[in-house]
């Protein structure tokens, strides 16, 4: 009897997973975006960047921002050095001297109760100007059209919008993270496209200044280890509309994390902050996570049924990821990469689930939460 119960539970989870994938593919086929026309005069914007121990990435980030086609006299690039232990602060200071629209701020301890990026953003907002605040990270490289298309995505009722970020790195480890981010970005956009609030990607987002100040900015929200989702959700609660967009012009590139331990801490951080997500997100996470625990059991009980479900899952997943790459105009991975990615996502899901349950603090950028 217990074996039959396990069989039916595993079969149901497998079929629900496949149904979700089919729904994702249908949505992807009808995915269309619209932008506001180019204004006669571009609005003033501020770009906020939190940087901690980013000496290997910050130059590429700033150089990509300087190469944007947005009018330079309308841009304020405000960088916060979050008590780095490397040369991040020196590099920011050099750029601030060389380029008048770049400002480097040394982040100080305070009694706000905020930590990490939330504290940085709260201190940077005092220097922010303009109609829109674009938020990115120090390990991000944007495209020349990024700011213009992010601004053009903000209809009058939209308070927050998130672009698409993928990892770009060398070797198989970087490629697996790239595909993993693309898969997650696709899921995020598909859910949002169906009219369901999702979340924002904190390294690639734009917030309307009015909406930001209406919720009190990062100072006015309770501290969260995933501070960007907290800001997103508070803006949505005020009645503002949200958008997630997946297109080549708003695709940004992130540096990969190095090492399995760092990857696990990153994912644990996401899951810890994800406790505040709505129930339907956790239902989705539950189905996705249980698949990798229960379908192996199904293969053991009914090998043919289990293998058919897993093969169908891999095929649908491959088509979905290929479609996402097409939308963001990135070179599609080869068949071998798709096969290796199945091993990666299986191992990553299982180890992340186990690691998240361990009574360990999250270590991120040499800080523990």
Domain membership of residue 293 (yes or no) is yes
223, 238, 258 — which closes off a domain?
258
The answer to whether position 52 is within a domain reads yes
pLDDT, position 364:
64
Question: Within 13 Å, how many C-alpha atoms sit on residue 84's CB side?
Answer: 23
Task: Say if residue 286 is in the same domain as residue 234.
Answer: no
Q: What is the pLDDT of residue 214?
A: 92
Residues 54 and 117 placed together within one structural domain of the fold: yes
* pLDDT value at residue 23: 94
Query: Of 237, 258, 279, which one is at a domain's C-terminal end?
Result: 258
Per-residue pLDDT tens listing for the chain (369 residues): 588 899 999 999 999 999 999 999 999 998 888 888 999 999 999 999 999 999 999 999 999 999 999 999 999 999 999 889 889 999 999 999 999 999 999 988 776 666 778 788 888 988 999 999 999 999 999 999 999 999 999 999 999 999 999 998 888 999 999 999 999 899 888 888 888 877 788 899 999 999 999 988 887 776 666 677 788 888 988 999 989 999 999 999 998 888 888 888 888 877 776 677 777 778 888 999 999 999 999 999 999 999 999 999 999 999 999 999 999 999 999 999 999 999 999 999 999 999 888 887 766 666 666
Do 330 and 350 belong to one domain?
yes
Q: How many residues are given for the chain?
A: 369
Which residue range(s) make up the domain with 359?
263-368
Query: Are 242 and 273 contained in the same domain?
Result: no
Structural domains of the chain, count: 2
pLDDT at res. 266: 83
Residue 35 lies in a domain: no
Neighbours of 29 (CB within 10 A): 8
| pLDDT attached to residue 223 | 60
Residue 155: what pLDDT?
A: 93
Residues 245 and 312 in one domain: no
Residue 37 domain flag: no
User: What CATH number is given to the structural domain containing 137?
Assistant: 3.90.550.10
Do both 281 and 247 map to the same domain?
Answer: no
In the prediction, which pLDDT does 1 show?
54
Which of 206, 233, 258 finishes a domain?
258
Long-range CB contact pairs, 342-350, < 8 A, 24+? 342/314, 342/317, 344/176, 344/179, 344/180, 345/180, 345/183, 345/292, 346/292, 348/180, 348/263, 348/267, 349/288, 349/289, 349/292, 350/292, 350/293
In this structure, the answer to whether residues 210 and 66 fall within a common structural domain is yes
């Amino acid at each position: 009897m217990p074996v039959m119960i396990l069989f039916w539970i595993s079969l149901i989870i497998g079929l629900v997973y496949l149904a979700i994938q089919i729904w994702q593919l249908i949505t992807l086929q009808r995915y269309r975006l619209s932008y506001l026309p180019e204004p006669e005069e571009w609005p003033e914007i501020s770009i906020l960047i939190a940087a901690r121990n980013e000496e290997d990435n910050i130059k590429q980030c700033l150089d990509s921002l300087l190469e944007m086609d947005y009018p330079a006299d309308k841009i304020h690039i405000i960088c916060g050095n979050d008590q780095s232990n490397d040369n991040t602060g020196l590099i920011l200071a050099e750029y601030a001297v060389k380029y008048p629209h770049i400002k480097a701020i040394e982040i100080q301890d305070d009694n706000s109760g905020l930590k990490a990026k939330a504290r940085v953003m709260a201190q940077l907002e005092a220097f922010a100007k303009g109609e829109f605040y674009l938020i990115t990270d120090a390990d991000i490289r944007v495209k020349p059209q990024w700011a213009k298309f992010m601004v053009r995505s903000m209809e009058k009722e939209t308070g927050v919008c998130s672009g698409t970020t993928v990892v770009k790195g060398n070797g198989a480890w970087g490629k697996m993270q790239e595909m993993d981010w693309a898969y997650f970005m696709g899921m995020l956009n598909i859910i949002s496209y169906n009219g369901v609030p999702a979340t924002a990607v904190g390294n690639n987002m734009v917030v309307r200044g009015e909406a930001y100040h209406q919720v009190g900015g990062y100072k006015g929200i309770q501290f969260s280890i995933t501070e960007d989702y907290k800001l997103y959700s508070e803006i949505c609660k005020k009645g503002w509309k949200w958008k997630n967009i997946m297109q080549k012009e708003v695709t940004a590139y992130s540096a990969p994390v190095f090492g399995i331990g760092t990857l696990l801490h990153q994912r644990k951080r996401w899951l810890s902050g994800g406790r505040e997500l709505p129930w339907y997100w956790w239902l989705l996470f539950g189905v996705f996570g249980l698949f990798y625990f229960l379908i192996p059991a199904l293969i053991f009980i009914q090998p043919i049924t289990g293998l058919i479900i897993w093969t169908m899952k891999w095929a649908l997943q491959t088509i979905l990821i290929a479609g996402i790459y097409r939308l963001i105009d990135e070179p599609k991975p080869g068949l071998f990469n798709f096969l290796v990615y199945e091993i990666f996502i299986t191992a990553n899901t299982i180890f992340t689930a186990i690691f998240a349950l361990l009574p360990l603090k999250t270590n991120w950028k040499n800080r523990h939460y």
